[in-house]
Chains A and B, each alone.
Chain A
Amino acid sequence: MEYTNRGIRTGKDRIIFNAVAYLVLGVFALLCVIPFYLVIVASLTSEEAIMREGFSLLVRDFSLEGYEIILNNPATIARAYLNTVTVTVTGTVVSVFMVTMCGYVLQQRSFPWRNKIMMFFYFTTLFSGGLTPYYILCTRYLGFKNKFYALILPSAFSVWNMIIAKNFMRTIPPEIHESAKMDGAGEFRIFLSLILPLAKPLLATLGLFSALGFWNDWYNCMLFIDDKDLYTLQYFLQEMLNSIENLRIVAEKSGIVVPVLPTEAMKMAMTIVVTGPIIFVYPFIQRFFIKGLTIGSVKG
């Protein structure tokens, strides 16, 4: 028997296993990436080429007309970009702050009602009234229709994230809280200046989870927004995919005169505009998402 320096036998079984492993993983990994490549290629191909030969894996007739029309729309696409960025930043800050603070308080042993309040939160994950009453409440009684805050408020707090935060807080030694208390610091002060700096890994993970959620959100926009000035990027893309009419409006506003409306190229260009930042950023942040699976896993 042969042994490698790692103590692994390189027998026939290992060779077959490796062949299967590399092949299957390689193919699946490529399948995960190729569609994005396909969209990039399509976004760079002229409309005639797409009409003639369909989507393909090579750029045959290079053209930027899809991007030109889309990026020539300061009033609409740039607006949607701005909305998405504002929603993402505000939503993430508000959500992480509320979730962390709530999780911290519910982990305090000296807080008498912590278990009862925890059950109060937890029950909402077990039972819900459903979409219908929620929708009618938000639109009819809370006036969410076409309000900017309707894009943030419905996702501004998450019980699941709060549970993660609560579990993370258990890893912070209670002595820190006790000694600060003896020095006369108030609870809120302790949370802000002592606990938050210690919870950086938690803040990073929750922050990125929330930011991704807000960036990718189209649901709130679909439910509550009709005003094009308040569209987010994802919903803008959804509208463009759904009807040629929306594409025509975008093209008209760009002021670029085209003989044929490049519908397919525009859709693909918009897909890239919407996804671009994520594709560039995700390789650097993926480790936080991997950590997110274990960070709050201490059972509370």
Chain B
Amino acid sequence: MSARFATQINPAARKKTFFQQVAQNRTFLIMVAIPILYVIVFSYIPMGGIILAFKDYKYRLGIFGSPWVGLNNFRYFFISGAAGRVIRNTLLYNMAFITAGMIIEVFFAIVLSEIRNRYFKKIAQSMMLLPFFISWVVVSSIVYSVLSYEYGLINNLLAGVGGEPVNLYALPKAWPFILVFLRIWKGAGYGCIIYLANITSIDPEIYEAADIDGANIWQKTSAITLQHLRPTMVILFLLAMGGMFRGDFGMFYQIIRNNGTLLPYTDIIDTFVFRALLSSSDVGMSAASGLFQSVLCFITVMLANFVVTKIDPDYALF
């Protein structure tokens, strides 16, 4: 609008044509050309590939040659009972990860901020960060050495006190607890940093004033620290909820591997999509379940972002 207005007053400031703009910004355009090409190839073209969800994919015929089957892939995904199971697992695990993770990270952040012994604090924090740097493959190897039925440390210690060995790899019900523990083990050291930084930014005078009023440490923690952390907690919680249907493939795939006994309690959408993709007859259903997940993810992210925008636009994703 303003450009058109400017043209009327001063013909010299006429809006440049598209090609003039391109010519003027050619270096910038070249600089972003490869990244743009990159997302076209690796993100946008696969988005077009969602047509696979409506086809019976045959390797021989390719994506375009394979016959259309309407909603059959979705029907199969839901009727086989897999859908209910993997959606429930994905949701419940994520809720447990988000809630337990947040409680423990906030707790660690508060505790770390109150500790006065600098060396203890530094060393403890370094130790807590170690699992963050390790891949899930390595974690899987470690978990095996701790939990394995024949040689595992836990069964070893149990035998040492005269207990019966437990075969956790045949006990599906134990895995929600093991996986939540592993998630916290791997992520809490890194996750608490953001809360710790937040606590450090609290004005020390507030604590001094509370000291003078005779507040004890529990009162100070609940009335000052937690109150101060609350906005961050709410925002991070909502943003995490936006990814409620996105499972941590690496974790579930590496820790559980192909242990069929554990699958009822540990199969999530992402591992299901992957397994279906590998068995050539289920490629269509793999695409359908993947698309179903993508749509759910899109809706939850938009919802989460909408709520965040209402609370504090500064933290909105876009």
Contact = CB atoms under 8 A, between A and B. Distances in A.
A121 B35 contact: yes
Interface centre among A8, A25, A30, A98 (most CB of B within 10 A): A25
Contact of A242 (B257, B277, B297, B318): B257
Given A9-B211, A290-B193, A271 B138 contact: yes
Given A7-B208, A132-B273, A271-B138, A120 B47 contact: no
A117 B31 CA distance: 12
B42 A28 contact: no
Interface string A138-163: 00101000000000001011010010
A136 B57 CA distance: 10
A187 B263 CA distance: 54
Given A56-B153, A126-B302, A218 B48 contact: no
B48 A133 contact: yes
Interface residues of B, number: 100
A264 interface: yes
Interface in B20-74: 21, 25, 27-28, 30-32, 34-36, 38-39, 41-50, 52-53, 57, 59, 62-63
Interface string A192-219: 0000000000000000000010001111
A54 B152 contact: yes
A117 B197 CA distance: 33
Contacts of A17: 114, 217-218
B116 to A, nearest CB: 7
Contact of B34 (A98, A104, A278): A98
Contacts of B146: 35, 38, 55
B127 interface: yes
A105 B153 contact: no
Nearest to A219: B250
Given A38-B142, A187-B27, A289-B190, A124 B32 contact: no
Contacts of B124: 25-26, 28-29
Nearest to A188: B27
Count class of interface residues, chain A: 35 or more
Contact of A105 (B32, B141, B155, B250): B32
Nearest to A14: B217
B287 A133 contact: yes
A contact face: mostly helix, strand, loop, or mixed: helix
Interface in A269-300: 270-271, 274-275, 278-279, 282-283, 286, 289-290, 293-294, 299
Contact of B145 (A7, A38, A234): A38
Given A29-B123, A57-B153, 17 more contacts: A9-B216, A13-B216, A21-B115, A22-B120, A25-B111, A32-B127, A38-B153, A98-B34, A127-B294, A135-B277, A136-B57, A191-B31, A217-B135, A238-B254, A267-B141, A275-B134, A293-B193
Interface of B: 21, 25, 27-28, 30-32, 34-36, 38-39, 41-50, 52-53, 57, 59, 62-63, 107-108, 111-112, 114-116, 120, 123-124, 126-135, 137-138, 140-142, 144-146, 148, 150-153, 155-156, 159, 185, 188-190, 193-194, 197, 207-208, 211, 214, 216-218, 249-250, 254, 257, 270, 273-274, 277, 283, 286-287, 290-291, 293-294, 297-298, 301-302, 314-315, 318
